[in-house]
Amino acid sequence: MESPFTCVDLDRALPSPCGTDHVRVAIAAEPRDTSEEFDVLLTAAPDPPRPWVSCADPYATARLLQTTVTRHPAASMSLVQVLRISHELSGPDRLVLESLAYSTLQAGRDFHAWLASARPRASRPAAEPVQVCRDGARMTLTFNRPWVRNAFDAATRDALCEALEVAVLDPTVTHVDLYGNGPAFCSGGDLSEFGTSSDPAEAHRIRIHRSPAALLQRCASKVTVHVHGPCVGAGVELAAFAGSVTAASGTTFQLPEISMGLIPGAGGTAGLPARIGRERTAYLALSGTTTDVETALKWGLVDTLSLGPAAEPPSP
């Protein structure tokens, strides 16, 4: 089957009509307004305005994206289709759409091929995966599995939901700080749990019923997330919902899910576009590239930089 990828050089050719079943990429020497809808816009110009992405060689970057789309067509198309549709939906409905697409891909051949090739990983749970400290009107939450860089497992999800439900329902909680212990804020979904659900429909039901992203949507104005180290997958996606994101120097961001045959599943297609736009969100997910904190600040994924290498959560 032909790769569902189209690249248009806006300096050399007029955009041609293309169906919704293609990932559409545009290249231009200088950013410009375009009446055509593209999923990713690439330019060599430094510091371009949203939605453009600056890269040293846009043609090489386009070839990289084409390779990704060719290798993972179902996940790539699901990603851009969800992003295109989501801007017309409410915040909660965006999460439902993302979860439906994620569950569909969990049943797909690409994800099962990734599972078959991945090395087995043992579960390494924590007795207290999220530390909770309440000091008057302020609540401090801290991911507490530093030995796996705070990989996001079901126990962490449930503990975070319980704490965020308090923040949503208790009006005396006026500020919530979220930290991560150890070398990274959060390294993404716990790979030891990937593929353990045999029922994608039930996984969708649980994902919607126990959703930290949905709770963060409801109390975002109260929440400051303090990120540091490699923030991967859920570590990027959940932070994007916060009213404020503070990053330590050296923090990096990455969305690797497409390479697994999936799309971001912790709210990334709902939270990231609100901060950086759907086109830059598509670029991060399709490229799988590691983005530095300086770029994240320019794009609005991060609001402020902390002075030290990593903010320390208060002692419980």
How far is residue 54 from each of residues 62, 183, 184, measured CA to CA in Å?
Answer: 12, 29, 27
Q: Are 102 and 207 in contact (CB under 8 A)?
A: yes
Q: How far apart are the C-alpha atoms of 115 and 178, rounded to whole Å?
A: 31
Q: Which of 115, 239, 87 is nearest to 177 (CA)?
A: 239
Residue type at 278 in one-letter notation: R
Confidence (pLDDT) at 102: 97
Q: How confident is the model at residue 300 (pLDDT cuts 50, 70, 90)?
A: very high
Structural domains in the chain? 5-71 (no CATH), 74-305 (3.90.226.10)
Q: How far apart are the C-alpha atoms of 132 and 163, rounded to whole Å?
A: 7
Q: What is the pLDDT of residues 152-167, one digit of tens each?
A: 999 999 999 999 999 9
SS3 label, residue 252: strand
Q: Are 143 and 156 in contact (CB under 8 A)?
A: yes
Helix axis angle for 268-276 and 212-219, nearest 10°, is 40
Q: How far apart are the C-alpha atoms of 15 and 112, rounded to whole Å?
A: 36
Read off the tokens for 187: 């390294």
Q: How far apart are the C-alpha atoms of 107 and 18, rounded to whole Å?
A: 28
Q: What is the pLDDT of residues 211-223, one digit of tens each?
A: 999 999 999 999 9
Confidence (pLDDT) at 313: 72
E strands, 198-296, are 223-227, 230-232, 244-247, 252-254, 291-292
Q: How far apart are the C-alpha atoms of 152 and 296, rounded to whole Å?
A: 22
Measured distance between the N- and C-terminal CA atoms of the chain, rounded to whole angstroms: 56
Weakest-pLDDT range from 195-209, 224-238, 286-300: 195-209
Q: Are 193 and 153 in contact (CB under 8 A)?
A: yes
Read off the tokens for 125: 């749970």
Q: How far apart are the C-alpha atoms of 143 and 141, rounded to whole Å?
A: 7
Q: How far apart are the C-alpha atoms of 81 and 93, rounded to whole Å?
A: 15
Residue type at 80 in one-letter notation: V
Residue type at 61 in one-letter notation: T
| Residue 280, pLDDT above cutoff 70 | yes
How far is residue 175 from each of residues 60, 131, 168, 169, measured CA to CA in Å?
Answer: 44, 16, 11, 13
Confidence (pLDDT) at 97: 98
Confidence (pLDDT) at 17: 58
Q: Which of 159, 153, 184 is nearest to 254 (CA)?
A: 184
Helix axis angle for 278-287 and 73-86, nearest 10°, is 170
Q: How far apart are the C-alpha atoms of 45 and 217, rounded to whole Å?
A: 34
Question: 0.85 cut: is pTM over it?
Answer: yes
Task: Give φ, ψ of 40 to 5 degrees.
Answer: -140, 135
| Residue 65, pLDDT above cutoff 70 | yes
